[in-house]
Amino acid sequence: MELKKVLLIGGTGFVGGWIANRLSERGIRVTIPTRHRDNTKQLILLPTVYVVEADVHDPKVLASLMTGVDAVINLVGILHDGDSAKPYGKRFAAAHVDLPRKILAAMKQTGVRRLVHMSALRAAVDAPSAYLRSKGEGEAAVCAAMNELDITVFRPSVIFGPGDSFLNTFATLLRLFPVMPLGGAGARFQPVYVGDVADAFAACLTDHATFGQTYELCGPRVYSLRELVDYTGELIGQQRLVINLPDTLAYLQAAFLGLLPNPPMSPDNLRSMQVESVTDGRRNYPGWQPRSLEAVAPGYLSSSTPKLRLDSYRCRAGR
């Protein structure tokens, strides 16, 4: 399969920028739709990357974007939805369920066969959180089309790397407060480096062995949330007293934080953490050799010395 043009939906986000860079390095033309082109200056500078203003939720617009496309990558995902409807709110439904269905319909209409879809580890229609339930519903719709289209699904754990909203959020909070009250401190994650995720997405596009497959993307080590906060504090030189909150206080804290414009935590996030974001390794991507958190995080969190700043630049360049 010769790959010349890819439609990257959700390409303006954290992971999308890395994937766009990987595809651009290979000389592949990448079209990234967005509602606000002025906010994508770094992407616009990439050779072979074209950012266009478009509403991907409009089926007609979506179909027009697929004209002449060889493959579609869907990365769209949101972490918060103030709508408490069951099984999930309107924003989760639009982003995680309705959009994948529209993408599948547009692909069938335009004859595009290749789709790589970003789901989430432990996504399931009966999961404890609205986020995971909506992700599971969208994944189910995508997997149901595997007999008609050439589809690969990736299910990553939490993703870290330069520019992430995970470890960088902890770093910001640790710099601001002398004490860190932490809900869900015992929740377990297997963080995966964004550069490795981007490599997997780019490499699988033309790999026929990945068609019809679902892969879990995780790092080499499991951590508790408390361990991740402590490690972040160590890297930035801001080791704080971390207080493990009982469930009642944790949900009160999350409810308060969920009212902020860009909440670092919400009650639904806590419900997501009721299931471990770890893998048993049986569904790893072929040849998967992920980099460790310790090999990458110091390069972008500990940026107070010239050497560490250089490491950060190298990390951002994927080197």
pLDDT at 263 over 70: yes
Position 44 scores a pLDDT of 85
CATH of residue 148's domain is: 3.40.50.720
Cβ(9)–Cβ(33) under 8 Å? Answer: yes
> Hunting for tokens 């369920």 — which residue is that?
97
Q: Does residue 248 lie within any of the structural domains?
A: no
Residue 62 has pLDDT above 70, yes or no: yes
Residue 227 lies in a domain: no
Cα-based distances in Å from 148 to 42, 79, 104, 233, 289? 36, 30, 10, 49, 31
pLDDT in tens, 136-178: 999 999 999 999 999 999 999 999 999 899 999 999 999 999 9
> Model pTM?
0.92
| pLDDT, mean of residues 255-268 | 91
Task: List pLDDT tens digits, range 80-113.
Answer: 998 888 899 999 999 999 999 999 999 999 999 9
Query: What domain range is 81 assigned to?
Result: 5-159+192-217
Measured between alpha carbons, how far is 37 from 19 in angstroms, rounded to an integer? Answer: 18
pLDDT at 1: 66
Radius of gyration (C-alpha) of the chain in whole angstroms: 19
What is the C-alpha to C-alpha distance for residues 200 and 286, in angstroms, rounded to an integer?
Answer: 9
What percent of the chain shows pLDDT beyond 70?
Answer: 94
pLDDT of residue 84: 81
Which of 219, 224, 206 is CA-nearest to residue 284? 219
HEC-encoded secondary structure of 4-36: CEEEEECCCCHHHHHHHHHHHHCCCEEEEEECC
Indicate whether 34 belongs to any domain.
yes
Domain count, the chain: 1
Examine residue 213 and state whether it is found in any structural domain, yes or no: yes
Please, which residues have CB within 8 angstroms of residue 60's CB and are 6 or more apart in sequence? Answer: none
Question: Does 286 have pLDDT greater than 60?
Answer: yes
Quick check: is 258 in a domain? Answer: no
User: Domain for residue 235, yes or no?
Assistant: no
Tell me whether residue 99 is in a domain. yes
pLDDT value of residue 319? 47
Dist. CA 254–CA 264, nearest whole Å:
9
User: What tokens does 151 get?
Assistant: 């589809």
CB 319 within 8 A of CB 311: no
Residue 312 has a CB neighbour count (10 Å cut-off) of: 17
Domain assignment present for residue 65? The answer is yes
